[in-house]
Every structure is written in C-alpha cells, then in structure tokens.
Amino acid sequence: MANLKAVRERITSVQNTQQITKAMKMVSAAKLRRAQTAVQQIRPYADKQNEMLRNILSNLGGEANTSFGVERPLKKACIVVVTSNRGLAGAFNTNVIKAAINTIEDKYAEVLKEGNLTILPIGKKGNDVLRKRYPNVTFIRDYVEIFSDLSFENVAQVSQRLMDGFSAGAFDSVTVAYGRFKNAATQFAEAEQWLPVLKMETSGDSNTKADYIFEPDMNSLLETLVPSILQTTFHKYLLDTHASEHGARMTAMDKATENANEMLKDLKLMYNKARQEAITGEILEIVGGAAALESA
C-alpha cells in the first residue's frame, strides 16, 4: 500500500490537472460558439453558390466551360492539410492527417513517386507530422499560422495562390484534407478534390434545356463566378476545421475532467484505507506496549 505522503501528492497533482482541463474546456466552449456561428453563416451562402453553379452547368452541359474545370493528366498535384496549431483535441488532428496520408499514398501515389507532389500545411500539427513523414516532398509553409486571422481577405490569398498554380500548370489537381464540423461531439475528417471543379452530372430524365441569358457572355460570367465560389468553398474548409478543433478539444477536456473525478475517487479511497491502516497499526502498538508493561 502506498504511503500517505505519496497518495496525498498524487491527489494534489490530479486536482491541479483537473483545474487545467476545466479551464481549457471553458475556453474552447467560448471559442466554439464564435467558430460555430461563423460556419453557420457561411454555409448557406456557399451552398447557394454551389447550387447556382450546379444548376447552370447541369443545364448547359458541354456548352459551359471554365478553365478551373479542365481535367489534365495527373502529373503534378498539391494537397492542402488543414489541422490545428495546438494539440489536446482528442483524435481530431490524427484523423485529418490520416485522411491526407491515405490520399497521398493512394490517389497521388504515382505523383509522390515521381517527386511532383506539393503539400501546403495549414496548422502546425499537420506540418510537423508530414515534414517528418515526407522529407523529400516540396512544402509551401507560408500559411501554417493563418488561423490567427481567418478573415475572407486573408484566406483568399491562399486560395488565389492555388488557383494561379492550377491555371499555370504547376498543379493538375488540388485536394483539401480538413475536419468537417457537425456538432461539438462529432467531426468528420475528409479529403475533397477542390481543383479541377468536379463535373456536374445530369439526371438524364429530360431533354429540356434551360434558356439562360448571359450578360456579357457565358464564359466571361463563369470565369468570374467559379473563382468566387472556389474561394468561398476554401474559406468554409478552414472555418469548418476551426470549429471542429474547438469542438473536439471541448469534448476531450470534458472527458479528461470526468476521468480526473474517477481517479480522485479511487485515490481518496486509497488514502482513507492507508490512513486507517496507519491508525490501526498505531493502536496495536499502543495496546501491545500497554500489555507488555502490565505483564512486566
């Protein structure tokens, strides 16, 4: 049985840790409310934009064309890995990194083998892990700490750089690995193709084609519309991940606090047993000493 001093020290240590986990839970809860609000505000706008583009492309079929929808032979690729800057968020960062690694070693296996893969990490956790795993891969590390400012204008610099690279032929495909936010307890690690724009499939149930009037013309409109939609979608990836991070951390710290409570119960029970044994031992010594004196 551990001595009383050692048990007291463990109880104090667990109590101090519990105070930290409680504080981190409260901080993440406050940040989650703001991050969740930001995601909820951008989603309807982004979904409406995508619906509008889907409606136009599905009705116009092959007549609609955009440079960001051109599929080229996959020779060069870029994967954007969006993780958090800090840990203590359960398996959130690990799951996003796994989604990125699966994409790299499956979809981009040949590109990786040829040395034509570029990784753009957003968030320190993904950057640290992937640089160790892929030391010979090209990294764009200019936006690792962009989470300090998630304004649309700041995030648009990243998406614009990727679109320029795609247009210039530096990348034939761009995939984003991120955490999709559902609620505080549920986040999904996903890897979505961002460029080229996925082709919209029509149902084929009707031969009727919508008669849109484009001003000034269809191609000019799409060349303006598609980049705007891409930038909004990319911004949503980061806001989703930001909210997922705080949701995962809040849940992890809540579980850690509960585990600390259970540990404290066990330690206090251990402490009481040790103290009872110590008291019993002292009483036996006193009784034994008294009996010895009487017999003498």
Q: What is the DSSP string of 168-195?
A: TTS-SEEEEEEEEEEETTEEEEEEEEEE
Mean pLDDT of 226-240: 92
The larger pLDDT score, comparing residue 183 to residue 65, is at 183
Mean pLDDT of 178-191: 93
Where is average pLDDT lowest: 30-39, 56-65, 166-175, 237-246?
56-65
Give the CA distances from residue 247 to residues 27, 97, 109, 281, 288, in Å, rounded to whole numbers and listed in that order: 11, 18, 33, 51, 61
Q: What is the CATH number of domain 4-19+256-291?
A: 1.10.287
Domain residue ranges of the chain, discontinuous segments joined by +: 4-19+256-291, 24-200+211-252
Per-residue model confidence (pLDDT) at position 274: 83
**pLDDT above 80 for 217:** no
Structural contact between residues 85 and 123, judged by C-beta atoms closer than 8 angstroms: yes
Per-residue model confidence (pLDDT) at position 71: 84
Per-residue model confidence (pLDDT) at position 207: 54
Cα Rg, the chain, nearest whole Å: 29
Q: For residue 210, what pLDDT band results from cuts at 50, 70 and 90?
A: low
Per-residue model confidence (pLDDT) at position 257: 94
Share of the chain above pLDDT 70, in %: 91
**Fold category of 24-200+211-252 in CATH:** Pyruvate Kinase; Chain: A, domain 1 (3.40.1380)
The larger pLDDT score, comparing residue 216 to residue 273, is at 273
**pLDDT above 60 for 203:** no
Structural contact between residues 97 and 129, judged by C-beta atoms closer than 8 angstroms: yes
Q: Highest-confidence range of 4-18, 103-117, 216-230, by mean pLDDT?
A: 103-117
The larger pLDDT score, comparing residue 157 to residue 209, is at 157
**pLDDT, tens digit (0-9, with 9 covering 90-100), for 93-116:** 999 999 999 999 999 999 999 999
Per-residue model confidence (pLDDT) at position 152: 93
Per-residue model confidence (pLDDT) at position 108: 97
Cross-strand bridge partners of residue 119: 79, 139
**pLDDT above 60 for 292:** yes
Q: What residues contact residue 289 under an 8 Å CB cut-off, 6+ apart?
A: none
Per-residue model confidence (pLDDT) at position 27: 94
Q: For residue 208, what pLDDT band results from cuts at 50, 70 and 90?
A: low
Per-residue model confidence (pLDDT) at position 294: 78
Neighbours of 83 (CB within 10 A): 33
Q: How far apart are CA 137 and CA 126, in angstroms?
A: 14
The larger pLDDT score, comparing residue 30 to residue 56, is at 30
* 118 SS3 class: strand
Q: How far apart are CA 156 and CA 231, in angstroms?
A: 6
Per-residue model confidence (pLDDT) at position 12: 93
Give the CA distances from residue 179 to residues 26, 92, 185, 188, in Å, rounded to whole numbers and listed in that order: 21, 8, 13, 5
**pLDDT above 80 for 57:** no
Per-residue model confidence (pLDDT) at position 2: 53
